[in-house]
Amino acid sequence: MRNRLQLKYLPLRFPSLFPLILLLVAVTVNAILQPNLLELRVMNGNLRSFLPLMLVAVGQTLVIIGAGIDLSIGAIVSLVTAVLVTNLLPDSPPLVIIGVVALACAAGMAAGALNGFGVAVLRLPPIVTTYATGFIFSGLALWILPRPGGSMPEQLARLYRRVTPLNIPLGIWIALILILLWALFRHTRYGSYLIATGGKPEAAYATAVPVNAVRFGSYVAAGLFAALGALVLTLGTGSGDPRIGVGITTTGGMTLDSIVAVVLGGTRLSGGQGGVAGSILGVIILGLIRNIISFADVPSWNQTLVDATIIIVALAAPGLIGWIRDRRRRALPPKEMVQEVAG
């Protein structure tokens, strides 16, 4: 008789369980080091600073569930940032703002479409394709906006920074909306297709799932979420930096951060399993860990070291667990043998 709550199947049944535990630990440690952590003002500020990565991580999650990976996602953020700040003025009228935001989203989706074309149509390996296109997008970003600068509409930025509907931080609202959208999407045919494509592409193909269209779509969606991430990022800073997505302060920029958040959130890197809620928790955990590091007075070069260690541990953990389990399994006799001895 198999145990329905066996450790092995827990992540499948409750994909957000482990990230939730991690989150509790991170919040506790952080609150000890920084007693005002849970005040609305501090929480709003914290969550707002996590928000861009949250959106980018959602895009990355979709691609990774479809058994791909997007190494260009940080560069797409840079590209869209450049498009936004060069076309907007502090006093742009609302119609212009809407037009430019639409243009920025289109740029993000076009970048995603290029990735999707390489992976789904030309059948190039996702890592190589997106690593290469990342340089194209970074290059375009630097061409549009050679040095940090530009501006965002002041009123909109002020609104974004201050608003806390029902006294709940904006970051939480957006996180809830994203989780709700995912829950809806997961229960459409396309949600099923995405998971099937990532889980076992040959079987999905044999079952009439349009595998290539699904892959293509996941990259386009990632481009769109990267664009939205760039939008809230520039609203937060008020100006743009063409290298913001590819790493000026942290080791790997938003690309690596997004992948780490996805992995921390319990989504499997090989695809076919996971969800957006976990990735959002992953982003918050990652942000809190960085908070803890800075509050613990770790020198900044150490911070990079700790960052990288977390990344390696997070990436290696699923493999290590599997390895330990396999070693244990090797020692067990097969079912038939046990039964025949018993009978």
Partner 1 sequence: MDEEGKMATPPPVSLSAEHIVKHFGGVVALADGNLDVQSGEVLALLGANGSGKSTLSKVITGVLEPNGGELVLDGEVVNFTSPQAAQKRGIAAVYQELSLIPDMTVAENIWLGHEPLKWGVRIDGQAVRKRTQELLALFEGTVQESLRPEEPVSALPPDERQVVEILKVLSLNPRLIILDEATASLDSRQVRRLFELISSWKEAGKAIIFVSHRMEEIFRVADRAVILRNGKSKGAEVIAETTEQQLVNLMIGDVAAVPRQLAHDPVPPDAAVRLQLEEVYTDVLRGVSLSLKDGELLGLGGLQGQGQTNLLRAVFGDIPFFGTIAVSGELVRFSQPRQAMRHGVAYVPGDRGSEGLLLSRSILENFQLPSWRRYGFPLRMERAKQDANRVADTLSLVRSSLEASAQNLSGGNAQKVVIGKWLLRQPQLLLLNDPTKGVDVGTKREFYNLLAELRRAGTAILFYSSDDEELLGLCDRVLVLHDGKVSAELSGERLTRSDLVTASMGAAQDNDRVPDREVAA
Chain positions contacting partner 1, by CB under 8 A: 1-2, 4, 6, 8-9, 12-13, 184, 187-189, 192, 195-196, 199-200, 203-204, 206-209, 272-273, 329-330, 333-337, 339-340, 342-343
Beta bridge partners of 149: 240
**One-letter amino acid of 15:** P
Under 8 Å between Cβ of 25 and 283: no
The residue length of the chain stands at 343
Q: Which amino acid is located at 303 in the chain?
A: Q
Nearer to partner 1, 95 or 332 (CB): 332
The nearest distance, CB 315 to partner 1, in angstroms, is: 20
User: What is d(CA 325, CA 332) in angstroms, rounded to the nearest whole number?
Assistant: 11
* Phi and psi at residue 240, to the nearest 5°: -125, 150
The Cα–Cα gap between 169 and 199 comes to: 36
- Please identify, using beta-carbon distances, which residue of 102 and 337 lies nearer to partner 1: 337
- Complex with partner 1: residue 84 or 195, whichever CB lies closer: 195
Find the shortest distance in angstroms from Cβ 15 to partner 1. Answer: 10
Residue 71 C-beta: closest distance to partner 1, Å: 24
Minimum Å distance from CB 211 to partner 1?
A: 11
What is the b/e burial string over 283-295, where b = at least 16 CB atoms within 10 angstroms of the residue's CB? Answer: bbbbbbbbbbbee
CB atoms within 10 A of CB 62: 27
For residue 202, the SS3 value is helix
Nearer to partner 1, 138 or 279 (CB): 279
Q: How far is CA 328 from CA 36, 63, 323, 324, 332, in A?
A: 46, 33, 9, 6, 7
Reference 235, options 149, 145, 165, 158; nearest CA is 158
Q: Which is nearer to partner 1, 13 or 158 (CB)?
A: 13
Q: How many CB atoms lie within 10 A of CB 173?
A: 15
In terms of CB distance, is 211 or 232 closer to partner 1? Answer: 211
166 vs 331, beta carbon nearer partner 1:
331
| The token pair that represents 44 in the structure block | 């709003």
DSSP lists the bridge partners of residue 240 as 149
Contact by Cβ (8 Å): 262, 274: yes
Radius of gyration (Cα) for the chain, nearest Å? 21
- Closer to partner 1 by Cβ: residue 194 or 254: 194
User: At its nearest, how many Å lie between partner 1 and the CB of residue 125?
Assistant: 17
Residue 186 beta carbon to partner 1: minimum distance, rounded to whole angstroms = 9
Q: What is the DSSP-derived secondary structure letter of residue 34?
A: S
Least gap, CB of 66 to partner 1 (angstroms): 13
Q: How far is the CB of 277 from partner 1 (least distance, A)?
A: 17
CB of 319 to partner 1, least distance (A): 17
DSSP 141-155: HHHH-SSSB----HH
Residue 160 vs 193, nearer CB to partner 1: 193
- 200 touches 273 (CB < 8 A): no
